[in-house]
C-alpha cells in the first residue's frame, strides 16, 4: 500500500535533483503499475505474514555493520553537488556540449539514450521483453482448461456473473469519468512519445502511460472485455515487433555502411538520419514496453480471477486441496 | 498590469495554501473516515484549484497555460470521482460512520487513532 | 563539512532498510518489497551523483549555462522500467510458489522440500 | 509566495503520510494516499515555476492521471475476499483500542 506513496516520494526526489526524465518514469512506474502488481500478488498469496520464528538480532547486526562500513566509505566521496566530481569529467561534457551538433536533439537524455548509448538501450529492451515472456510462461493459464472453466462458470456460476455486473453498475460514475479520461491519457502518451526529443519523455515513459490507460480500462470494464478489445496474441506480436524494429534499425544502418545503430547513414544529412533513427527506436521501445506491461498485468489479473472463481466454487463443497490451502492460510 | 497579475497570483497561492493546510489538519483530526473525506474533498478541489489558478496567472507562455488548464481540469474530474468511489466502497463494506453520540458524553475530544 | 555528504547517508539508510527486510523477513513478497527499496536507493545514489550545484535539467535551453550530468539519468531511466519488469517476474514466481506449496514463507517451503527429499531418498 | 506555498504543501504531505501510516482502516489509507498524490501534483507544478523550468508540468500531468489509476486499482483489488476478511479482523481490534 505504501509503495505508491514511496514511488511518488522518490519521484519528487528526482524532480528536486533536476532529473526530469527519471522523475517522469518513476512517476508513471512507481506510483501506478508497481503498486498495482504488488497488490495483485498480495491478494493472490494472502495478506498476513507468519510470526517470526527467530530473533532478528543477527540480521540487525549484519545490517548495522554493513551500513557503518558503507558510511565510512562515503567519507572519501565527492561532496553533494560539487562541480568537479570525477563523474562529471569524462563523457558528460561531450554529451552536453556536442550533442546538439552531433544529434540535433535538445533533450540530452534522449540523445544519449537513443544515439550514444543505443546499444545499451537495446539490451534493456531485450531484458524487458524477456521478463514479459517469463511472466507469460509462468502465469498464463493453460488454454483448454480455461475454456472449459469458462463454459462451466458461464453455465453454472450465473449468480457470480450477476454479482459482478452489479459491481460494475455500482461504479457507474467511475466508468463514465474514465470513459472520458482514457482517450486523454492515450493522447497524452502519444504526446510524450513524440515530444521526447524536446521535453522530458520518450518511449519508456510513453509505453508505461499507454499501458496504464489500458490497465484502467481493464480494471473498470472487466478483464474479459479488455481481452476482447486487445487481443492477447496481437499484443504479444507487438512486443516482438518493437524489439525487432529497434534491432532492424541497427541492421539497416549496417547495410548502409555505418556501424550497428549508427544513424548518421540513414539519411543523406547526418542530423536528419539521427532524427529518423531516434524516432524509430523510441517507437520500438514504446511498442515493447506497452505490450510487456499489458501482458504482465493481464496475466496477473487473469490468474487472480481464475483463482477466485476456483475458491468460490470449491469453498462450499470443501474440496480437499482447497480446504488444505485455506487452512494453511488461516494458520498463518 | 503585470503587477496586478502578480498580486492576484500571490493571493490565490496564499489562500490555496491556507486551504490545503486546513485540509491537512482536518485529515489528521477528524474522527472518522467520512468526515475525513470531506476534508480531503475541500483540499483537493478548492485548494488545488486556487494554487493552479495562481500559477496560471504568472505563467510565461501559452503552452504552459494550456498544460496548467489541463491539470486543473483533470484534478477537478478525478478527485471527486475518486472520493465518490472510495466512499461508496467503504459504505458497501460496512464501515459505519461515527454518529453523534459523543456529545452526550460531555463533549469528549474526538478519539484520534 | 561532513554535512556535504548527506545524500550518501540517505542512500545508505534506505539501502540498509531494504537489506534488512530482505534478510530478516521470511515472507517472499516482503523480500521483494525490500529489494525494491534497495533498488530505489541505488537509483537515488546515481541521480544524486549526477546532480550539480545550480545546474539545470539536461534539456538544452537558452540562457542556461550549467546542466546536470545526463548520463546517470539515462542509466536509471532504463533501470526503472527494467526493474519493474523484473519485479513482476519475481512476483509471478512467488504466485507460482504459493500455488504449488500453499505458502510463501521461506521456512515452510524449506520444510516441505526437506520432507519430499526424505521421501524420495527412502 | 511560491516558497510559502511549497512549504505549506510539504507540511500537508507530511500530515497525509501520518494519516496513511496511522489510518485505522484501509479506506483511510487510500484517502490519504489520494490526497498525497494531489499534493504532489501541486508541489511539482510549483517547483517547476520556482526553478524556472516549466517542463516539469508534464510530470505533474502524468501524476494526476496515474494517481487516479492507482487509486482505482487499489479499490478494485480491495474488493477481493482476502481484504474484506482482514478488514473484518481489523475492525474488532479497532474497537478495543477505542
Are the CB atoms for B60 and D64 separated by under 8 Å?
Answer: no
Are the beta carbons of B71 and D45 separated by less than 8 Å?
yes
Q: What is the pLDDT at residue D93?
A: 40
User: Quick one: how far is CA B19 from the chain centroid?
Assistant: 7
Q: Pick the closest to residue B112 from D24, D96, D11, D28 (CA basis).
A: D24
Judged by DSSP in three states, B95 sits in coil
What is the nearest CA distance from A137 to chain B, expressed in angstroms? 35
Q: Does B88 touch chain A (CB under 8 A)?
A: yes
**What residues in B contact D16, CB-CB < 8 Å?**
24, 27
**What residues in B contact A184, CB-CB < 8 Å?**
74
Residues 6 or more apart whose CB falls under 8 angstroms from that of A83 comprise: C52, C53, C66
Q: Which domains are present in chain C?
A: 1-51+66-121 (1.10.287.3510)
**What residues in A contact B69, CB-CB < 8 Å?**
none
What is the nearest CA distance from D13 to chain B, expressed in angstroms? 8
Asked if chain B contacts chain C via 3 or more Cβ pairs within 8 Å, the reply is no
Q: Does D15 touch chain B (CB under 8 A)?
A: yes
Judged by DSSP in three states, B106 sits in coil
Distance CA C34, CA C40 (A): 10
User: Quick one: how far is CA D82 from the chain centroid?
Assistant: 23
Q: For residue D26, what are the domain limits?
A: 2-97
Look at A187 and A18; give whichever has higher pLDDT: A187
For residue A85, give Cα distances in angstroms to A15, A75, C9, C22, C53.
21, 14, 18, 32, 11
Q: What is the pLDDT at residue A148?
A: 46
**What residues in A contact C42, CB-CB < 8 Å?**
none
User: Quick one: how far is CA B38 from the chain centroid?
Assistant: 8
Task: Please write the tens of the pLDDT for every residue from A110-153.
Answer: 888 878 888 888 888 899 999 989 988 888 776 544 444 444 44
For A208, name the nearest residue in chain D, comparing CA atoms only.
D66
What is the nearest CA distance from C107 to chain D, expressed in angstroms? 23
* pLDDT > 70? residue A329: no
For A5, name the nearest residue in chain D, comparing CA atoms only.
D33
* pLDDT > 50? residue A289: yes
How large is the average pLDDT for residues A169-178? 74
Q: What is the pLDDT at residue A152?
A: 46
* Summary mean pLDDT of chain A: 74
Task: Please write the tens of the pLDDT for every residue from A210-221.
Answer: 888 888 888 888
Q: What is the pLDDT at residue A18?
A: 52
Q: What is the pLDDT at residue A55?
A: 63
Helix axes A172-195 and A270-317, enclosed angle (nearest 10): 150
Task: Please write the tens of the pLDDT for every residue from A34-86.
Answer: 777 777 777 777 655 555 556 677 878 888 888 888 888 877 777 776 666 77
For C36, name the nearest residue in chain A, comparing CA atoms only.
A3
Q: Which chains form contacts with chain C, at 3 or more CB pairs under 8 Å?
A: A, D
Q: Which chains form contacts with chain A, at 3 or more CB pairs under 8 Å?
A: B, C, D
What percentage of chain A has pLDDT greater than the value 70? 73
Are the beta carbons of D21 and A2 separated by less than 8 Å?
yes
Are the beta carbons of D38 and B43 separated by less than 8 Å?
yes
Q: Does B67 touch chain A (CB under 8 A)?
A: no
Q: What is the pLDDT at residue A17?
A: 53
Distance CA C72, CA C57 (A): 12
The domain ranges of chain A are: 107-142+167-316
Q: What is the pLDDT at residue A9?
A: 56
Are the beta carbons of A108 and C5 separated by less than 8 Å?
no
In chain D, which residues have pLDDT < 50? 81-98
How large is the average pLDDT for residues A270-288? 86
Are the CB atoms for A21 and C73 separated by under 8 Å?
Answer: yes
Nearest by CB to residue B71, choosing from D2, D11, D57, is: D57
Are the CB atoms for D59 and A11 separated by under 8 Å?
Answer: yes
How large is the average pLDDT for residues A3-8? 52
What is the nearest CA distance from D70 to chain C, expressed in angstroms? 15
Q: What is the pLDDT at residue A6?
A: 54
- At A1, the pLDDT band (50, 70, 90 cuts) reads very low
Q: Which range has highest mean pLDDT (A289-293, C10-14, C49-53)?
A: A289-293
Nearest by CB to residue C57, choosing from A18, A37, A296, is: A18
Q: Which chains form contacts with chain B, at 3 or more CB pairs under 8 Å?
A: A, D
Task: Please write the tens of the pLDDT for every residue from C10-46.
Answer: 788 888 888 888 888 777 877 888 888 888 888 888 8
Give the A:D interface size as CB pairs under 8 Å.
Answer: 119
Structure ipTM: 0.80
Distance CA A301, CA A266 (A): 42
How large is the average pLDDT for residues A20-32? 70
If one counts the domains in chain D, the total is 1
Q: Pick the closest to residue A104 from A262, A259, A270 (CA basis).
A: A270
pTM of the model: 0.80
Asked if chain C contacts chain A via 3 or more Cβ pairs within 8 Å, the reply is yes
Asked if chain A contacts chain D via 3 or more Cβ pairs within 8 Å, the reply is yes
* pLDDT > 80? residue A251: yes
Q: Which residues of D touch C (CB under 8 A)?
A: 51, 53, 55
Instruction: Say how many CA atoms lie within 13 Å of C33 toward its Cβ.
Output: 22
Task: Please write the tens of the pLDDT for every residue from A297-317.
Answer: 888 888 877 877 777 776 554
For residue A95, give Cα distances in angstroms to A24, A104, A113, A175, C20.
21, 11, 11, 46, 38
**What residues in A contact C102, CB-CB < 8 Å?**
324-325, 328
Are the beta carbons of C92 and A299 separated by less than 8 Å?
yes
Amino acid at each position: 500500500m505504501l509503495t505508491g506513496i514511496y514511488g511518488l516520494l522518490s519521484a519528487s526526489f528526482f524532480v528536486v535533483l533536476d532529473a526530469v526524465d527519471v522523475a517522469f518514469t518513476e512517476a508513471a512506474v512507481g506510483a501506478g503499475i508497481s503498486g498495482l502488481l504488488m497488490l495483485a500478488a498480495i491478494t493472490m498469496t494472502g495478506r498476513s505474514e507468519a510470526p517470526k520464528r527467530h530473533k532478528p538480532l543477527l540480521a540487525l547486526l549484519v545490517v548495522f555493520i554493513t551500513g557503518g562500513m558503507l558510511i565510512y566509505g562515503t567519507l572519501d566521496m565527492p561532496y553533494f553537488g560539487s562541480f568537479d566530481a570525477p563523474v562529471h569529467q569524462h563523457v558528460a561534457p561531450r554529451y552536453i556540449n556536442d550533442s546538439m551538433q552531433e544529434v540535433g536533439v535538445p533533450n540530452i537524455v534522449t540523445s544519449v539514450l537513443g544515439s550514444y548509448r543505443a546499444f545499451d538501450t537495446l539490451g534493456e529492451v531485450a531484458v524487458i521483453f524477456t521478463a514479459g515472456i517469463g511472466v507469460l510462461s509462468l502465469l498464463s493459464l493453460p488454454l483448454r482448461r480455461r475454456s472449459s472453466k469458462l463454459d462451466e462458470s458461464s453455465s453454472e456460476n450465473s449468480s457470480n456473473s450477476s454479482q459482478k455486473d452489479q459491481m460494475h453498475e455500482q461504479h457507474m460514475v467511475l466508468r463514465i469519468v474514465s470513459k472520458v479520461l482514457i482517450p486523454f491519457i492515450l493522447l497524452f502518451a502519444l504526446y510524450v512519445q513524440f515530444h521526447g526529443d524536446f521535453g522530458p519523455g520518450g518511449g519508456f515513459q510513453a509505453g508505461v502511460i499507454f499501458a496504464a490507460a489500458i490497465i484502467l480500462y481493464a480494471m473498470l470494464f472487466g478483464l474479459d472485455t479488455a481481452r476482447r478489445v486487445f487481443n492477447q496474441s496481437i499484443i504479444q506480436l507487438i512486443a516482438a515487433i518493437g524489439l525487432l524494429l529497434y534491432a532492424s534499425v541497427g541492421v539497416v544502418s549496417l547495410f548502409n555502411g555505418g556501424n550497428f545503430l549508427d544513424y548518421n547513414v540513414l539519411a543523406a544529412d547526418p542530423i536528419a538520419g539521427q532524427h529518423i533513427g531516434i524516432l524509430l527506436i523510441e517507437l520500438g521501445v514504446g511498442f515493447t514496453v506497452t505490450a510487456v506491461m499489458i501482458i504482465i498485468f493481464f496475466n496477473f489479473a487473469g490468474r487472480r480471477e481464475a483463482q477466485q472463481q476456483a475458491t468460490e466454487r470449491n469453498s462450499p463443497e470443501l474440496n480437499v486441496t482447497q480446504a488444505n490451502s485455506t487452512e494453511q492460510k488461516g494458520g498463518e | 498590469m503585470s503587477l496586478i497579475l502578480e498580486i492576484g497570483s500571490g493571493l490565490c497561492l496564499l489562500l490555496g495554501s491556507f486551504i490545503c493546510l486546513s485540509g491537512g489538519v482536518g485529515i489528521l483530526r477528524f474522527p472518522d473516515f467520512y468526515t475525513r473525506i470531506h476534508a480531503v474533498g475541500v483540499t483537493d478541489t478548492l485548494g488545488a484549484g486556487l494554487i493552479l489558478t495562481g500559477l496560471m496567472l504568472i505563467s510565461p507562455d501559452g503552452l504552459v497555460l494550456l498544460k496548467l488548464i489541463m491539470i486543473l481540469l483533470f484534478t477537478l474530474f478525478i478527485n471527486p470521482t475518486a472520493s465518490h468511489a472510495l466512499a461508496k466502497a467503504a459504505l458497501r463494506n460496512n464501515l459505519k460512520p461515527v454518529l453523534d453520540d459523543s456529545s452526550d458524553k460531555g463533549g469528549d475530544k474526538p478519539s484520534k487513532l | 563539512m561532513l554535512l556535504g555528504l548527506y545524500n550518501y547517508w540517505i542512500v545508505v539508510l534506505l539501502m540498509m532498510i531494504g537489506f534488512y527486510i530482505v534478510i530478516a523477513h521470511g515472507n517472499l513478497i516482503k523480500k521483494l518489497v525490500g529489494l525494491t527499496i534497495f533498488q530505489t536507493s541505488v537509483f537515488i545514489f546515481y541521480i544524486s551523483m549526477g546532480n550539480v550545484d545550480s545546474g539545470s535539467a539536461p534539456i538544452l535551453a537558452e540562457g542556461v549555462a550549467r546542466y546536470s550530468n545526463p548520463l546517470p539519468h539515462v542509466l536509471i531511466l532504463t533501470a526503472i522500467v527494467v526493474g519493474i519488469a523484473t519485479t513482476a517476474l519475481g512476483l509471478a514466481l512467488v504466485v507460482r510458489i504459493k500455488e504449488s506449496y500453499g505458502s510463501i514463507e521461506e521456512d515452510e517451503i524449506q520444510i516441505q522440500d526437506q520432507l519430499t527429499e526424505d521421501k524420495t531418498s527412502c | 509566495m511560491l516558497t510559502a506555498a511549497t512549504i505549506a504543501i510539504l507540511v500537508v504531505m507530511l500530515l497525509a503520510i501520518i494519516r496513511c501510516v496511522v489510518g485505522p482502516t484501509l479506506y483511510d489509507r487510500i484517502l490519504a494516499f489520494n490526497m498525497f498524490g494531489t499534493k504532489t501534483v501541486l508541489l511539482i507544478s510549483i517547483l517547476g515555476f520556482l526553478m524556472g523550468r516549466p517542463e516539469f508540468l508534464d510530470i505533474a500531468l502524468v501524476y494526476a492521471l496515474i494517481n487516479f489509476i492507482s487509486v482505482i486499482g487499489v479499490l478494485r483489488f480491495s474488493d477481493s475476499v482476502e481484504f474484506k476478511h482482514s478488514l473484518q479482523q481489523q475492525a474488532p481490534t479497532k474497537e478495543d483500542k477505542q
